[in-house]
Chain A
């Protein structure tokens, strides 16, 4: 069964930015891009575990703050030629509120 949890109002995540959400499953980075789409990834870079939440967001991508690997927000995959993948979670916006599903 899927469980959607309310996270926060959309405005509380900066556009082209993110927030860290602490859950029972560890830290999850919830991103908001330039089109107000939201995405959720485990807050760990596939390279050396850097906090992706602290990276620079553009398009549907985030660049890791530690060594600049770029990760695709909608799949968790590293952008080629880099390799690696981080866990992706479902996130959505409904009536201005952000919801996250980590089940």
Chain B
């Protein structure tokens, strides 16, 4: 037997970026490489950003380990701890450590991070002068805090303030010395910095601004005892922490003659000028930028792993970053160009006595930066708008009050995570408290919303508390949390391709089955997963309404059984009652069925129809046969209801026949599948008794015709719909409404309600396609009618015996 020798990968630097790259690589190609890791520190891989809570006494070193030594062993990785690589021999392709240990490589990964910058002043090497970078520094600071009194932190940036806060909490008398006129000048404007300084002063910190350090003075013991400034003043100091900046650690790369320019220069595939050598993390310069936060490093790690695994499909194109300060009780957010200037405008909300300040910098109707102090609830939303470059013209009026203020249900109207006590419930669906989430993030080393959802279940059900969970994540791990890039959302974990790319290929490449689509995009898991299969099934069905063979096994149970599963495993049956209008004959039939099958609960739904709850699965086809009514699709990502009011036929105020228009719409859209559920309503006058303004499509009759509103939502987060157009006749309503719905069907992502989709593409776009383009509108309207022409009623089909197995248990 011959065993092929595996390719050798050597990693220099056992930190966050290097090990994240290995984790990503092991997911993609677990057996491809023989891996060796060198780390200059004597520890496994730990979460460096949580050194701040360790210093503050909120956590221990043990809590912040990401990959302990066992992890390396389990993955067959050779780990050399406490060994600093001093030479790379690119000709012989080997690296050599200080103690003489050597390792040969086929591929090399540099992840050497950065070095703290030390001010070149006399006394910088005295005992008691430390930087703040690793466990050793942190231990030294903790030790000093237990023996000495006066601490001076040089540098009023993120790192300096976190150090100062930690030392203060450990009982030291702390002064922060800063060269600039205000704190965190690279993230905050003067006003926000002023508020921050006030809150930190209230915590007992002292500040000396616009002070330049001249010298550090030694005491009798040889340890530092004071700091002297350019202006001649001095200040006692038994511990001096230098936090004035970092420099990419390129020393090793430079001795190996790799091209460096304020960082090891890499291209979009994270390769250095030597194509065998990759580099990631803080040591790297990509398109002229060296990053100092975790989020970009993770993106780089993902791309690098993809290329190391020889998949070669992804590119790193740079990151937009945002900042959070990890000081408990202080809420601050900053991103992008927060100062502004020529050609920009500012939207500001300033309430200094309330401790709240918000500023957004806008250019050409796009957010280019912002600072939030005191209330950062909207931070992730603004950041998303910034990064997606979304046009905010229509949002302007709502920007400051924000997204989460209105209409959010399920967490007592809370929208500020910082002010919530630990025991307060954040996720009302799964009963998860704030403390539980914070604990999981810290102890399990979670970095993304997805990971928090998986581990705690918080925000994994209805999602209304997503904003709160994001805030908690951001304040726990600082700038390491960045909301996912909404404009490039992979379909699911099985692929890196986006919804849009996949939809496009399905049409252009004429992919007509799930296996074909998965094959074309080289899905990672053969049968996909419970997220992508339903999405693909819908995309195929929408693209090929007459050719695609629907796959019941790729549908969620409700759509497979054509009824809603209940918590006890029984089902509910909701027949269609067009426009909410029924007859005595229909009611009698429903009553008889309910009696015959001993249905435990008969309920009127919020959608103007009748629900028979607690039907056994086996009985479903019989119940449907006896009801002899069409399926109400109450279980589907599909047309649900068209609610109506009594309208001009009876109502003394009615100006339009809303009832009959509603029935006509519901008939036209009958049996329609969609990215998510679709609900309409028609009201006969502006009193709007059918609640048309919180529906996907809402129609309001006025004396001179009909107003059409779209993209409303009455659920998890109430959204009032937006005005689309006013038309004269019922026929026009049919055309506009169905064209809008077809556009949604063709372009939205699976599980987007209309509101989510419209918020992404913008109402201008929708108006352009539906109102301005008459021919396009007609074509959309016709495509929908064509797609529905041969859809059959699923209940009647099953009454005829289709998929009988689904409903019949086997008895042994």
Chain A interfacial positions (CB closer than 8 Å to B): 5, 7-8, 12, 14-17, 19-24, 27, 30, 33-34, 48-51, 54-59, 63, 65-68, 70, 81-82, 100
User: B525 near A: Cβ within 8 Å?
Assistant: yes
CA distance in complex: A15, B809 (Å): 17
Q: Are B557 and A22 in contact (CB under 8 A)?
A: no
Known interface pairs A51-B569, A67-B461; A56-B812 also in contact (CB < 8 Å):
no
Q: Are A65 and B454 in contact (CB under 8 A)?
A: no
CA distance in complex: A74, B560 (Å): 24
| B 306-327 contacts with A by CB, 8 A | none
User: Using Cβ atoms and an 8 Å threshold, which residues of chain A touch B567?
Assistant: 48, 50, 66
User: Using Cβ atoms and an 8 Å threshold, which residues of chain A touch B454?
Assistant: 81-82
Known interface pairs A15-B553, A23-B812; A70-B569 also in contact (CB < 8 Å):
no
Q: Are A56 and B461 in contact (CB under 8 A)?
A: no
Q: Are A59 and B805 in contact (CB under 8 A)?
A: no
| B 541-578 contacts with A by CB, 8 A | 552-554, 556-558, 560-561, 565, 567, 569
CA distance in complex: A8, B525 (Å): 29
Q: Are A65 and B805 in contact (CB under 8 A)?
A: no
New A-B contacts (6) at CB < 8 Å, excluding given A22-B810, A58-B529: A8-B810, A16-B554, A19-B809, A21-B810, A63-B529, A67-B461
User: Using Cβ atoms and an 8 Å threshold, which residues of chain A touch B530?
Assistant: 55-56, 58, 63, 68, 70
User: B527 near A: Cβ within 8 Å?
Assistant: yes
User: Using Cβ atoms and an 8 Å threshold, which residues of chain A touch B533?
Assistant: 56, 58
Q: Which residue of A lies closest to B460 (CB)?
A: A68
User: Using Cβ atoms and an 8 Å threshold, which residues of chain B touch A12?
Assistant: 805
Q: Are A7 and B812 in contact (CB under 8 A)?
A: yes
User: Using Cβ atoms and an 8 Å threshold, which residues of chain A touch B461?
Assistant: 67
Chain B interfacial positions (CB closer than 8 Å to A): 444, 454-455, 460-461, 525-530, 533-534, 552-554, 556-558, 560-561, 565, 567, 569, 805, 809-812
Subset of 22 A-B contacts with CB under 8 Å? A5-B812, A14-B552, A14-B553, A15-B553, A17-B553, A19-B810, A20-B809, A22-B810, A24-B812, A30-B810, A54-B557, A54-B561, A54-B565, A56-B530, A56-B533, A56-B553, A56-B557, A58-B525, A58-B530, A65-B558, A70-B530, A82-B454
Q: Are B565 and A34 in contact (CB under 8 A)?
A: no
User: Using Cβ atoms and an 8 Å threshold, which residues of chain A touch B810?
Assistant: 7-8, 19-22, 30
CA distance in complex: A22, B460 (Å): 33
Q: Are A22 and B809 in contact (CB under 8 A)?
A: yes
User: Using Cβ atoms and an 8 Å threshold, which residues of chain A touch B554?
Assistant: 16, 56
Q: Are A21 and B552 in contact (CB under 8 A)?
A: no
Q: Are B553 and A65 in contact (CB under 8 A)?
A: no
CA distance in complex: A48, B530 (Å): 19
Contact with A65, one of B528, B552, B565 (Cβ below 8 angstroms): B565
User: Using Cβ atoms and an 8 Å threshold, which residues of chain B touch A68?
Assistant: 460, 530
User: Using Cβ atoms and an 8 Å threshold, which residues of chain B touch A23?
Assistant: 812
Q: Are A59 and B525 in contact (CB under 8 A)?
A: yes
User: Using Cβ atoms and an 8 Å threshold, which residues of chain B touch A54?
Assistant: 557, 560-561, 565, 569
CA distance in complex: A23, B811 (Å): 6
Q: Are B526 and A65 in contact (CB under 8 A)?
A: no
CA distance in complex: A81, B455 (Å): 6
CA distance in complex: A13, B61 (Å): 52
CA distance in complex: A20, B616 (Å): 13
CA distance in complex: A54, B568 (Å): 12
Q: Are A22 and B812 in contact (CB under 8 A)?
A: yes
Q: Which residue of B lies closest to A60 (CB)?
A: B527
Q: Which residue of A lies closest to B525 (CB)?
A: A59
Q: Which residue of B lies closest to A11 (CB)?
A: B805
User: Using Cβ atoms and an 8 Å threshold, which residues of chain A touch B444?
Assistant: 81
Q: Are B812 and A65 in contact (CB under 8 A)?
A: no
CA distance in complex: A14, B195 (Å): 64
- Nearest Cβ in chain A — how far from B58, in angstroms? 23
Q: Which residue of A lies closest to B457 (CB)?
A: A67
Contact with A58, one of B528, B565, B809 (Cβ below 8 angstroms): B528
Contact with B812, one of A55, A67, A100 (Cβ below 8 angstroms): A100
CA distance in complex: A54, B528 (Å): 17
CA distance in complex: A34, B553 (Å): 11
User: Using Cβ atoms and an 8 Å threshold, which residues of chain B touch A48?
Assistant: 567
CA distance in complex: A11, B567 (Å): 30
CA distance in complex: A27, B616 (Å): 14
CA distance in complex: A59, B526 (Å): 7
User: Using Cβ atoms and an 8 Å threshold, which residues of chain B touch A50?
Assistant: 567, 569
CA distance in complex: A82, B528 (Å): 20
Q: Which residue of B lies closest to A58 (CB)?
A: B527
CA distance in complex: A55, B529 (Å): 11
Q: Are A21 and B809 in contact (CB under 8 A)?
A: yes
CA distance in complex: A66, B461 (Å): 11
- Nearest Cβ in chain B — how far from A30, in angstroms? 8
Q: Are B553 and A19 in contact (CB under 8 A)?
A: no
User: Using Cβ atoms and an 8 Å threshold, which residues of chain B touch A57?
Assistant: 527, 553
CA distance in complex: A50, B557 (Å): 12
Contact with A59, one of B527, B558, B560, B561 (Cβ below 8 angstroms): B527
- Nearest Cβ in chain A — how far from B635, in angstroms? 11
Interface centre among A5, A17, A33, A54 (most CB of B within 10 A): A54
CA distance in complex: A16, B588 (Å): 40
CA distance in complex: A65, B530 (Å): 10
CA distance in complex: A5, B812 (Å): 8
User: Using Cβ atoms and an 8 Å threshold, which residues of chain B touch A14?
Assistant: 552-553, 805
CA distance in complex: A58, B553 (Å): 10
CA distance in complex: A70, B525 (Å): 15
Q: Which residue of A lies closest to B532 (CB)?
A: A58
User: Using Cβ atoms and an 8 Å threshold, which residues of chain A touch B455?
Assistant: 81
Q: Which residue of A lies closest to B807 (CB)?
A: A20
- Nearest Cβ in chain B — how far from A90, in angstroms? 14
User: Using Cβ atoms and an 8 Å threshold, which residues of chain B touch A67?
Assistant: 461
User: Using Cβ atoms and an 8 Å threshold, which residues of chain B touch A56?
Assistant: 529-530, 533-534, 553-554, 556-557
- Nearest Cβ in chain A — how far from B798, in angstroms? 15
Q: Are A16 and B527 in contact (CB under 8 A)?
A: yes
Q: Which residue of B lies closest to A44 (CB)?
A: B569
Q: Which residue of A lies closest to B569 (CB)?
A: A51
Q: Which residue of A lies closest to B446 (CB)?
A: A81
User: Using Cβ atoms and an 8 Å threshold, which residues of chain B touch A58?
Assistant: 525, 527-530, 533
User: Using Cβ atoms and an 8 Å threshold, which residues of chain A touch B565?
Assistant: 51, 54, 65-66
CA distance in complex: A30, B810 (Å): 10
User: Using Cβ atoms and an 8 Å threshold, which residues of chain B touch A49?
Assistant: 569
- Nearest Cβ in chain A — how far from B687, in angstroms? 40
- Nearest Cβ in chain B — how far from A99, in angstroms? 11
Q: Which residue of A lies closest to B568 (CB)?
A: A49
Q: Are A19 and B805 in contact (CB under 8 A)?
A: yes
Q: Are B527 and A22 in contact (CB under 8 A)?
A: no
Cβ-closest 8 pairs across A and B: A63-B530, A58-B527, A56-B530, A54-B557, A65-B557, A16-B553, A20-B809, A51-B569
Q: Which residue of A lies closest to B529 (CB)?
A: A58
User: Using Cβ atoms and an 8 Å threshold, which residues of chain B touch A51?
Assistant: 565, 569
Q: Which residue of B lies closest to A45 (CB)?
A: B569
Contact with A21, one of B525, B529, B812 (Cβ below 8 angstroms): B812
Q: Are B809 and A65 in contact (CB under 8 A)?
A: no
CA distance in complex: A14, B565 (Å): 20
User: Using Cβ atoms and an 8 Å threshold, which residues of chain B touch A16?
Assistant: 527, 553-554
Q: Which residue of B lies closest to A63 (CB)?
A: B530
User: Using Cβ atoms and an 8 Å threshold, which residues of chain B touch A19?
Assistant: 805, 809-810
CA distance in complex: A12, B529 (Å): 23
Q: Which residue of B lies closest to A17 (CB)?
A: B553
Q: Are B557 and A33 in contact (CB under 8 A)?
A: no
CA distance in complex: A80, B527 (Å): 19
Q: Are A34 and B811 in contact (CB under 8 A)?
A: no
Q: Which residue of A lies closest to B461 (CB)?
A: A67
User: Using Cβ atoms and an 8 Å threshold, which residues of chain A touch B526?
Assistant: 34, 59
- Nearest Cβ in chain A — how far from B108, in angstroms? 32
User: Using Cβ atoms and an 8 Å threshold, which residues of chain B touch A82?
Assistant: 454
Q: Which residue of A lies closest to B811 (CB)?
A: A22
CA distance in complex: A8, B809 (Å): 11
User: Using Cβ atoms and an 8 Å threshold, which residues of chain B touch A21?
Assistant: 809-812
- Nearest Cβ in chain B — how far from A3, in angstroms? 11
